[in-house]
Structure formats: C-alpha cells, structure tokens
C-alpha cells in the first residue's frame, strides 16, 4: 500500500488510512484531542475485536486514530484499508455505560514534589491547585508509553504547564502527573518530563492481578485527595492485587 486511502469526501477528508511500513495501517479520524473522535476510534476497535478480520494481529487505539498491526502474508493492505473505511462509515453505537473510577491521591510533599512549583507558576496556592485538579471528570483517551500508562483529557486549562526542560530519569510508579494540556497516571517507574503533583496507591498495571490492566480507554476518572497516613493501608492492599479505586456512578 503505497499511498493513503481517504473517505468519499476526497483530499484531506477523514477518516483516512495510512500505511505504517509493511506490517501496519493506521486509520485516522481527525487531528485534534476530541472525545467524539476518540469514541469513533474505540468503536472501530470494538468492532474489530467483535468481528475479527483475517490477517489483523493487534489493534492499538490512540487519541484520534487506530493502529492496526497486520500479517502482510495473509492480509491485503489495499483491501483491508477499504474494509476499515467501510467499517468506520457504519459504526454502531456502543450502548455501553461508561465506567468511572474514583482514584485516591496523596498530593504534594514527597508524593508530589512539583506541586508547590506548579501552583506558584499559575498564581495558585497548593490547596487551590489540588481543588482545580480534582474538579474535572477526566476521560481516558488511551493507554500507552508504558504498560498501563493512562493518558487523560479534561485538565483545567489554567493548569496547563509545559513539560520539564530537564526530564527525570525515573519517577515513582502510580504518579499523578501533568504535562502540557494533558494529565496522566504513570504505571511503572520510568523516565518522565511531566510534573509530579501526587501519587495514587492504585496500580493501573499489576501483572499478578486479574485483570492486569485496571483502567481502559474510554473510562472516566475523578481524583479524590487522601491524607498521607491513609497511604500505607491502601498501598498494601493494592500491592496484594486489590483495585483500591472505587467504581462510581457516571
């Protein structure tokens, strides 16, 4: 597949399919971070899961596109691109209730070493920043970068903060972070240029738990501040495989 395939509207139209080397295609629904576009991505992902297509090995949903890994010996990329566009044009409504998680967070101090600096940058007190960070209902747009790393949309625009000029080589697992206009929950310890506001005892990824991945694309999240002295009990429970996060009505 040498060129991208577009929908019926012609040049620049969405959805469109682009080749990603010889073993993958990506179908794009737009160019922005938008819940409606993301809903289409997840709906197509669900369709391919419910109705497997020969030669499709794996799908990876992102903010506004779906990456489709293929076996080029089995799948015809040109035909598959046409099939993906046809499926995208006739996506059924999901009809599924959205899961909303309440995530406990210890903010500031050793748990969120950047909280005070980020608050000062925006002319806020630390408590006002915490209130602003906890106010929205966040949408989980995608999981990526590291196993279970949770990318969130819905951050209060007042808190948008450019990423650090000196990324840290290692931040703790389950850090509650912001970078640019995005919010996130890290999963395992790793490098990051995002700002650390706090940490949750919740393990988005726990290989010894069933399911190993707690949070999924399309879920919603609300953050709830907790006291530091409550951390140890919840962290011990999470390490043993308990979700710790509560499911709440959306």
* pLDDT tens, position by position, 189-246: 999 999 999 999 999 999 999 999 999 999 999 999 999 999 999 999 999 999 999 9
- Strands 220-225 vs 100-107: parallel, antiparallel or unpaired: parallel
- Report the pLDDT value the prediction gives residue 9, as an integer from 0 to 100: 41
- Report the pLDDT value the prediction gives residue 249, as an integer from 0 to 100: 80
Kindly list the structural domains of the chain, giving each domain's residue range(s) and its CATH number in brackets, ordered by start: 5-89 (3.30.1360.40), 100-248 (2.40.100.10)
Give, rounded to a whole angstrom, the gap between the first and last alpha carbons of the chain.
43
Query: pLDDT-based confidence at 250, cuts 50/70/90?
Result: confident
Q: What percent of the chain has pLDDT over 70?
A: 94
With 70 as the cut, is the pLDDT of residue 27 above it?
yes
Query: pLDDT-based confidence at 13, cuts 50/70/90?
Result: confident
Who's near 176: CB < 8 A, 6+ residues apart? 103, 105, 107, 112, 183, 184, 185, 196, 197, 198, 199, 200, 223
Structure tokens at 8: 């019926």
The answer to whether the CB of 155 falls within 8 A of the CB of 115 is no
**Does residue 67 or residue 97 have the better pLDDT?**
67
């Amino acid at each position: 597949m040498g060129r991208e395939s577009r929908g019926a509207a012609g040049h620049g139209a969405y959805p469109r399919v682009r080749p990603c080397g010889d073993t993958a295609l990506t179908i794009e629904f737009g160019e922005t971070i938008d819940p409606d576009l993301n809903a289409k991505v997840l709906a197509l992902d669900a369709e391919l899961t419910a109705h497997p297509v020969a030669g499709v090995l794996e799908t990876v949903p992102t903010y506004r596109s779906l990456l489709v890994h293929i076996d080029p010996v089995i799948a015809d990329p040109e035909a598959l691109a046409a099939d993906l566009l046809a499926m995208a044009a006739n996506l059924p409504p999901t009809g599924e209730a959205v899961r909303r998680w309440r995530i406990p967070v210890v903010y500031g101090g050793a748990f969120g070493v950047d909280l005070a600096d980020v608050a000062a940058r925006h002319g806020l007190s630390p408590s006002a920043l915490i209130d602003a960070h906890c106010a929205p209902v966040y949408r989980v747009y995608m999981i990526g970068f590291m196993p279970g790393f949770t990318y969130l949309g819905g951050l209060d625009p007042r808190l948008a903060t450019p990423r650090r000029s000196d990324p840290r080589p290692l931040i703790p697992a389950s850090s509650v972070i912001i970078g640019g206009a995005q919010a996130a929950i890290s999963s395992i310890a790793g490098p990051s240029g995002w700002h650390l506001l706090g940490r949750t005892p919740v393990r988005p990824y726990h290989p010894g738990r069933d399911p190993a991945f707690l949070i999924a694309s399309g879920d919603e999240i609300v953050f709830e501040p907790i006291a530091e002295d409550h951390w140890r009990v919840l962290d011990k429970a999470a390490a043993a495989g308990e979700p710790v996060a509560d499911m709440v009505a959306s």
